[in-house]
Amino acid sequence: MCRRSQCGSVRSSGVLAAVIFGAAAAAFAAAPAAAQQRGAPAAPPGPSADQAMAALHAAQEAAEALDVSLSCAVVDSRGDLIALARMDGARFYTTDVARGKARMSALFGQPSGDMADFGNSPAFQSFNETIPGPLYAFQGALPIMRNGELIGAMGCSGAASQVDEDAVRAALAVFGSSR
């Protein structure tokens, strides 16, 4: 049993909880059905798949003119892969390196080669261990810009770093980017 002064506060706190619960339930029930449904998340800014494939083709043409075999990757602004191609004769690991260079460039909005000092720092090494898929701070990837906004990056691997970057630079015209 409770004392008279305690019973009143217990009853009133129970009533208060019921009122709060009822108000919350009414608010959820009154919300429109569309607000409760989940749609597809908005895609990050990025090149289209058609643009990415055209850029890969342009990079391959540049590589053929230089008599080298490359792997090249195009990623969106989050570093998610859009397209990847490995030329005949390119080493098997070059696909991972091209993607890692492109992700580095996309995530930091800079050419991957400009990130060499940062790439050697303990902070970067710790960061690189925690994310899925490696980032490579080697020359060979450039950001893709549209109207001053970063929309992704492209990276190539398989030749000397400058040649990798030259192939990317040749392909950037597909995006209207001239970096």
Query: What percentage of the chain has pLDDT greater than the value 90?
Result: 63
Give the per-residue SS3 of the chain: CCCHHHHHHHHHHHHHHHHHHHHHHHHHHHCCHHHHCCCCCCCCCCCCHHHHHHHHHHHHHHHHHCCCCCEEEEEECCCCEEEEEECCCCCCCHHHHHHHHHHHHHHHCCCHHHHHHHHCCHHHHHHHHHCCCCCCCCCCEEEEEECCEEEEEEEEECCCHHHHHHHHHHHHHHHCCCC
Average pLDDT, the chain: 84
The answer to whether 70 and 63 have CB atoms below 8 angstroms apart is yes
In this prediction, residue 56 has a pLDDT band, given cuts at 50, 70 and 90, of very high
pTM > 0.85:
no
Task: State mean pLDDT over 73-93.
Answer: 97
pLDDT at 163: 98
| pLDDT > 70: percent of the chain | 78
Q: Tell me the per-residue pLDDT of 5-50, one tens digit each, with 9 for 90 and over.
A: 555 554 545 544 444 445 444 544 555 544 556 777 777 778 999 9
Per-residue confidence (pLDDT) for residue 36, from 0 to 100: 54
Condensed to tens digits (0 to 9), the pLDDT of residues 62-77 reads 999 999 999 999 999 9
Task: Answer whether residue 95 shows pLDDT above 50.
Answer: yes
pLDDT at 44: 74
Stretch 117-139: mean pLDDT: 91
Nearest Cα to Cα of residue 179 among 141, 153, 144 = 144
Q: How many residues does the chain have?
A: 179
- For the segment 111-125, the average pLDDT, to the nearest whole number, is 92
- The residue ranking higher by pLDDT, 17 or 172, is 172
Q: What is the CA radius of gyration of the chain?
A: 27
